[in-house]
Chains A and B, each alone.
Chain A
Amino acid sequence: NAGVTQTPKFQVLKTGQSMTLQCAQDMNHEYMSWYRQDPGMGLRLIHYSVGAGITDQGEVPNGYNVSRSTTEDFPLRLLSAAPSQTSVYFCASSRRPVAGGPYEQYFGPGTRLTVT
């Protein structure tokens, strides 16, 4: 299994450009999430999906769109890039959590995005 894969690894955008960060998993996980990681702020949830066709907003959704047309793929779209979106983006997947049960999220390798 490849686990969770992300492309690209690095990206530089100009302000106002749009792009899509790709994420795929081959573990048949129901849950998928996008996080951004900024220095001193940990991992903040952008959007998440609990299954194909279902998405919801996390803590910092503004400026980002997602869709989940298949179980495997969960792309993140930046509509009009801004310097404040310079960050490292991680995609993660997991099985459906059960009450009090383990909830291991498997992370992709990350995409380092710079917006100039």
Chain B
Amino acid sequence: GENVEQHPSTLSVQEGDSAVIKCTYSDSASNYFPWYKQELGKRPQLIIDIRSNVGEKKDQRIAVTLNKTAKHFSLHITETQPEDSAVYFCAAVGSARQLTFGSGTQLTVLP
């Protein structure tokens, strides 16, 4: 089955700096890659996603890139703000049509 690895597990950045979270996947048939944000005590919520026929997607301060050859994808957050502090999960939908999640990254934006 699909295996998704996510790095780093924790990330601290100064407010205004950029943050990058990286994920790799194993199933070459995977074709959809969402990112979820989970604030403390809350449910995960989708923040951005990318399909396998697209290399990059942006939404304001958030962007996701995908390299299908290398089987990795990344989340980029620019001009970070304190409200960006949360746990971020990458995921992949593989041939089983199920979401497989990475282990999460705790992002802390320091004022």
Residues on A facing B (Cβ under 8 Å): 33, 35, 40-45, 48, 58-59, 90, 97, 99-105, 107-110
Tell yes or no: B61 within 8 A of A by CB.
Answer: no
Asked if A103 contacts B43 (CB within 8 A), the reply is no
Closest Cβ neighbor of B42 among chain A residues: A109
Contact with A along B70-111 (1 / 0, CB 8 A): 000000000000000000010001000111111110000000
* 27 pairs, A vs B, C-beta closer than 8 Å: A40-B103, A41-B103, A42-B6, A42-B104, A43-B44, A43-B89, A43-B101, A44-B101, A45-B98, A45-B99, A45-B100, A48-B98, A59-B1, A99-B31, A101-B32, A102-B32, A102-B49, A102-B51, A103-B32, A103-B49, A104-B34, A104-B49, A105-B99, A107-B44, A108-B43, A109-B43, A110-B43
Tell yes or no: B69 within 8 A of A by CB.
Answer: no
Q: How far is A109 from B46 in the complex, measured between Cα atoms in Å?
A: 14
Shortest Cβ distance from B73 into chain A, in angstroms?
A: 14
Instruction: Note all chain A residues with C-beta closer than 8 A to B14.
Output: none
Which 5 residue pairs of A and B lie closest in terms of their CB atoms, listed nearest first? Answer: A107-B43, A42-B103, A42-B101, A100-B31, A43-B101
Q: How far is A59 from B51 in the complex, measured between Cα atoms in Å?
A: 24
Contact with A along B51-76 (1 / 0, CB 8 A): 11100000000000000000000000
Instruction: Note all chain A residues with C-beta closer than 8 A to B42.
Output: 109
Asked if B44 contacts A101 (CB within 8 A), the reply is no
Q: How far is A102 from B9 in the complex, measured between Cα atoms in Å?
A: 26
Instruction: Note all chain B residues with C-beta closer than 8 A to A45.
Output: 98-100
